Structure 1
Amino acid sequence: MNARDAVLGRIDRIVPPRSAAEVAADHARIDRAYATRHHAEGILDLFAERVADYRATVRRVAPDAVAAKVAEALAARPGAHAVPSGLAPEWLAGVDPSRLVRDPSVAELDRLAGAVTGCAAAIAETGTIVLDHGPGQGRRALSLVPDYLLIVVRADQVAADVPEALGRLDPARPLTFVSGPSATSDIELDRVEGVHGPRTLEVLLVDPGTG
């Protein structure tokens, strides 16, 4: 038995594991008599505005222009980029395959120019993008190690508010909430970017209404 198993074993003895049915029953008993959205219109406009507030770059693109915009974004950053194996292949159609590294290790990620990923949901009210690291999103390290991160967000993935977004997510999944580039102002209140994740965040918002 290693140290990790010993610690988890002690926790299980204090708080015994519960069945999925028990967890689901407790979840169903939670009172949710609250508003799940405070915005009925302009959801995509609000999302784009809030993302930009975080000093991220957001571009609205038509579905048939995603490949061109992804290729354009990566062409501006020399070097290879990480991509999860489940990312929509049509989004990468304009990129030289030799510049893409699929499902790289953490050691490989540290040497790459950036990463491209999809998402599970997005929140207009807070300008937040949520990854659950399912198909098309890759492991958590992919969104944290590279200095540059390009996230493709479909319009139908954008929820108006936090409660609405949480209702779309599986709480059993590992969730990563991305609100702009990684930054901190801990030292002398000077903003420093790229401390705990990507220094540069770019978002492509795939909007069928974009001409």
Structure 2
Amino acid sequence: MSARDEVLARVRAATATAVAPPLERPTAESRPGDVALFVERVADYRAVVERCTTDELAARLAEVVGERRVVVPEGFAVPGLALPGAVADDHLSATDLDDLDGVVTTATVGIAETGTIVLDHGPGQGRRAVTLVPDLHVCVVRAEQVVADVQDAVSRLDPTRPHTWISGPSATSDIELDRVEGVHGPRQLHVLVVG
């Protein structure tokens, strides 16, 4: 047995019964100024972003969506909201989703430093395809969901859930640096920050 093998054998023996301590995740609180920075950074990505109160939310959503046909995921609930073109997601195919105008969701967290919205596809957020195929994504982010940075956001996320991180409308550039929107997701992002 070589010296290397002997050392590794001792390490394996010493750690064989070791138990990893539970991971303690700090809780991130929203701070004053986070929401204003979040709004600024989201707008920098060419997204439409506006603030409203809880009482104004239903009217703002109805105005933004208008008569468009939009997917409204299960669990999305806003008191007094009436969207005439709302469509339930009954496992719609990619073709069905492409025929719709948009999707309306909530979010799990918003990141002020990067202007990023994170979905964990829980209630009100729908499955990943619902948020990536239609051309318009209207997303409701509550002020208390906005945190300062990525570390704070990760501390709020459940690592066992799927996550979609959204920083503005989908965009890419070709070899000549011409911007093309909508290749990997919605061409338009409209964010309503509540509170």
Relative to the length of structure 2, the TM-score reads 0.82
Deviation digits for residues 34-91 of structure 1 (CA, Å, limit 9, x no counterpart): xx89x9531110000000000001010010000000000011xx4311010110142x
Deviation at 1:103, TM superposition (A): 1.3
Instruction: Report what 1:68 is aligned to.
Output: 59
Residue in 2 that maps onto 1:28: 23
Gaps of 5+ in 2: 1-18
Structure 2: distance between partners of 1:113 and 1:145: 10
Query: Which of these residues, 33, 51, 63, is aligned with residue 42 of structure 1?
Result: 33
**SS state at 1:110 partner:** helix
* Number of the residue aligned with 1:13: none
- One of 147, 152, 161 as aligned partner of 1:159: 147
In structure 2, do the counterparts of structure 1 residues 186 and 49 end up closer, same or farther at CA, with 3 Å as the change threshold?
same
Structure 1 vs Structure 2: percent identity of aligned residues?
55
Is 1:51 aligned to residue 42 of structure 2? yes
The structure in which a higher percent of residues are helix is 1
**Paired residue for 1:123, among 105, 108, 111?**
111
Pairs aligned (count): 174
Task: Evaluate the alpha carbon distance shift between residue 27 and residue 126 of structure 1 in structure 2; reply closer, same or farther with a 3 A threshold.
Answer: farther
The 1:185–1:61 alpha-carbon spacing in structure 2 relative to 1, beyond 3 Å, is same
Please provide the CA RMSD for this pair. Answer: 2.2
Q: Which runs of 4+ in 1 moved over 6 A?
A: none
Residue matched to 1:195: 183
TM-score norm. by structure 1 comes to: 0.76
Equivalent AA in structure 1 for residue 35 of structure 2? L
